[in-house]
Amino acid sequence: MLKTFFNKTNSLSNDVKAGLFLIAATICALGASNSGLSSDYARFLNTNLHIGIANFALSKPLLLWINDGLMAVFFFLVGLEIKREIFKGELNSIQKSILPVIAAIGGMALPALIFFIINSGNLETLNGWAIPAATDIAFALGILALIGARAPASLKILLLAIAIIDDLGVIVIIALFYSADIALSYLSVGLAAIFFAFIAGRQKITKIWLYLILGIVSWFCFLKAGIHPTLAGVLLAFAIPLSGDSQQPVFLETLEHSLYYPVAFFILPLFAFANAGVSLAGLSLDLLFQPLPLGIALGLFLGKQIGIFGSIWITVKCRLAPMPAQSSWRHIYGLSCLTGIGFTMSLFIGGLAFESPLLIDQVKLGVLAGSLTSAILGFTLLYLASPAMQAQKSATD
């Protein structure tokens, strides 16, 4: 959901490239973890970095700097897009938002239910119930862009809107279920920084350095408070004004566009490289059928497509919302399959849910299996949904 499809003339090309970067990073991670470079790969991710002075210092492995630090920038960008879509885009009215809202809720609830049923007898793994509820929109948009004119524009808009609600749901889940014991002193300072950011936003102040300082303070305090620091990025984004003075008429959108390339082509690929490395040594079907990876894989592959397609079907049949223009039920089903690509977002939640290296490897296996099968099926269905002649006509029109 990093940007809309229509804000740049080459947006489709950018989405394809971003998806290819993520695929390349995943392949590199798998290659490094299953070759003679495995020890170097592990050593690289465990390199300790010390940043700060005195009591305001943090010392963490590189992996955690990526997951807790750089991903806060990603969630800041997510927050910017959510705010823009609520006030100016596809979620600025009940009529526009009802279909993606219902679809996203179904697409989060059913995967979590499938995971819960499969893991109900294993208390050790139940904490991963939210892993298959997430969608990696960067991957999904990239694959949808590969379809080209065969995918109606309304379908792309629907996917983007569903992804916005999905990411908002993930943010709420992280806040409620994946935060540690809260240190109120640090939390108070962090919330105060966010409060000042909202005051600055209300005054339409567009000094980036001011929001950067307040963001760093809130991120540090949230981390120390036991609340996942990526939430600081989201809250800060909601404080950013949509517009400033005559010199900055579209401040939020300008900031959003300036962050797109570093996030899409550096932060997300780096996150994928750091988290997708799973050793395939001794891999067998027996391991995939363990409750944790099986619950994740089926949640992504079956839960997402059934939850989203079923929710859209019911909503349209009950006349609560119209069918997306120029779309068929085959298009909707193919789109629903694409939302089963959890990848980076699912891996991110998996890292919050578990600390055991064994369980994290099982998470990676389940996420890769569910995401890969969803991507293949979704691409195939969408590619076959419209005849080539119709695709050419759509492109000409």
- What pLDDT is stored for residue 5 in this prediction? 38
Q: Which residue has the tokens 């006349």?
A: 319
Pairing of strands 56-61, 48-53: antiparallel
| pLDDT value of residue 397 | 46
- Residues of the chain short of pLDDT 50, as ranges, are 1-9, 388-389, 391-397
> What's the CA dihedral at 38, 41, 45, 47 to 10 degrees?
100
* Separation of alpha carbons 254 and 80, rounded Å: 10
DSSP reduced 3-state for 52: strand
Identify each DSSP E strand in 249-305 by its residue range. none
Give dist(CA 38, CA 179) in Å, integer. 31
Closest CA to 272 of 23, 17, 1: 23
Predicted local distance difference test score (pLDDT) of residue 58 = 77
Q: What is the DSSP letter of 126?
A: G
User: Is the CB of residue 339 less than 8 Å from the CB of residue 144?
Assistant: no
Who's near 240: CB < 8 A, 6+ residues apart?
80, 83, 201, 211, 251, 252, 255
Tell me the whole-structure pTM to 2 decimals.
0.78
- Cα–Cα dist 161/96, whole Å: 9
Whether the Cβ atoms of residue 1 and residue 158 lie closer than 8 Å to each other: no
Q: What domains does the chain contain, in order, with CATH numbers?
A: 11-179+228-396 (1.20.1530.10)
**pLDDT confidence of residue 13:** 62
pLDDT for 4: 44
